[in-house]
């Protein structure tokens, strides 16, 4: 999977910061322990000396192997003495060692000449953030979703919108709390300004806090990005793979984007591939089903209606003040 240059730079900077933090903490621990137990300084100096002597021994001819083995044995004895000093003074045996975020590659991002899994995960995380950089995640959560703005009076069909939305809010909270990448997919349908985006963002924020990779964006922005990359009008980044592989994809305002044959094909591929892979998706739209079918064909809409849990949002536009 390819990423823009800034993603690799950010990842390199993050790994460097992790290493430096771990090493700085280890240095502080050494200073603290040396103040309490100065004898450790002699042991550290002796260990460093054995390392230098081992390097020199490589060119010592036929006795090199024996010399190196003896130095290694002596070094292990020194390490044992250091551990004994630590435990005798109430410290953990690894108190002086750097605590790297990734113990496999020690925050270098490379293990045995290959990219470490922690590095690959970091690249994905940064790419997710890049895709959703303009999303106001912090502005929307479940606590700020006000039911009081929905009517508590029964309509002509006997439906109380506030109670309908209370149920939707409750189910969205449960969805976020119990989320896994294999969770069901959701389809939010309703006119503009009824809270679809707010609840989508609230779910996204909660799922991100659980440590999952979330891609959130409007259909217009994400699909436009796909199209530009497809036809070489943008810096190479495999956005398609991110959209297909992320733990949760939230496609907001489906139907507002300019439709081309490529866009229709891309929408179908995203929906169908994520469905086949068992990946959770949330799609929001302001368009009625009939208009979606005209815009994307029955094949696309049938995939959604046949495999997503549908939530119907009703009421008046919450962004327009109303007076009773």
Which pLDDT score is estimated for 132?
Answer: 61
Decide which of 118, 150, 183 is a domain's last residue. Answer: 118
Closest CA to 33 of 97, 76, 77, 78: 97
Same domain, 152 and 210: yes
Interatomic CA distance for residues 160 and 178, integer angstroms: 28
Is 324 inside a domain boundary? no
Residues spanned by the domain of 138: 132-312
157 pairs with which residues across the strands? none
Residues 141 and 9 in one domain: no
pLDDT at 102: 94
In a domain, 318, yes or no: no
Q: How many Cα atoms sit within 13 Å of 163 on the Cβ side?
A: 7
The whole-number pLDDT of residue 323 equals 34
Residue segments in the chain with a per-residue pLDDT below the cut of 50: 1, 320-324
Of 276, 269, 286, the closest CA to residue 307 belongs to: 276
Give yes or no: residues 297 and 229 share one domain. yes
* pLDDT score recorded for residue 59: 65
Same domain, 306 and 176: yes
CA geometry: angle at 176 spanning 164 and 225, to 5°? 100
Structural domain count, the chain: 2
d(CA 300, CA 251): 14
221 falls within a domain: yes
- Indicate whether 155 and 282 sit together in one domain: yes
Claim to verify: residue 152 and residue 14 sit in the same structural domain: no
Query: Are residues 73 and 111 both part of a single domain?
Result: yes
Residue 40 lies in a domain: yes
CATH number at residue 184: 3.40.50.300
pLDDT digits (tens, 9 = 90+) for 220-248: 888 888 888 887 655 556 788 888 988 89
Phi, psi of 26 (to 5 degrees): -65, -40
In-domain check, residue 320: no
125 belongs to a structural domain: no
């Amino acid at each position: 999977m390819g990423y823009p240059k800034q993603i690799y730079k950010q990842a390199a900077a993050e790994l460097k910061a992790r290493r430096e933090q771990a090493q700085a903490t280890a240095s502080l621990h050494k200073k603290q322990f040396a103040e309490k137990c100065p004898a450790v300084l002699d042991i550290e100096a002796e260990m460093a000396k054995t390392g230098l002597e081992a390097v020199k021994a490589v060119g010592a001819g036929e006795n090199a192997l024996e010399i190196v083995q003896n130095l290694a044995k002596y070094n292990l004895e020194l390490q044992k003495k250091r551990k004994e000093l630590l435990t005798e003074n109430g410290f953990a045996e690894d108190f002086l060692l750097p605590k790297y975020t990734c113990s496999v590659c020690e925050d270098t991002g490379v293990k045995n000449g290959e990219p470490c899994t922690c590095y690959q995960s970091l690249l994905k995380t940064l790419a997710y953030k890049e895709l959703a950089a303009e999303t106001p995640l912090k502005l929307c959560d479940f606590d700020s979703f006000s039911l009081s703005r929905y009517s508590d009076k029964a309509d002509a069909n006997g439906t109380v919108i506030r109670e309908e939305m209370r149920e939707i809010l409750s189910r969205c909270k449960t969805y976020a709390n119990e989320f896994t990448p294999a969770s069901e997919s959701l389809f939010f349908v309703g006119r503009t300004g009824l809270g679809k985006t707010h609840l989508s963002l609230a779910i996204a924020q909660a799922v991100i806090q659980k440590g999952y990779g979330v891609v959130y964006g409007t259909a217009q922005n994400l699909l436009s990005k796909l199209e530009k990359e497809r036809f070489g009008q943008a810096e190479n980044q495999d956005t398609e793979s991110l959209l297909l592989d992320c733990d949760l994809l939230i496609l907001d305002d489906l139907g507002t984007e300019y439709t081309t044959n490529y866009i229709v094909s891309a929408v179908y591929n995203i929906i169908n591939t994520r469905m086949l892979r068992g990946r959770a998706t949330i799609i929001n739209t302001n368009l009625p089903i009939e208009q979606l079918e005209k815009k994307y064909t029955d094949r696309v809409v049938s995939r959604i209606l046949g495999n997503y849990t549908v939530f119907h949002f009703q009421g008046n536009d919450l962004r327009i003040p109303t007076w009773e």
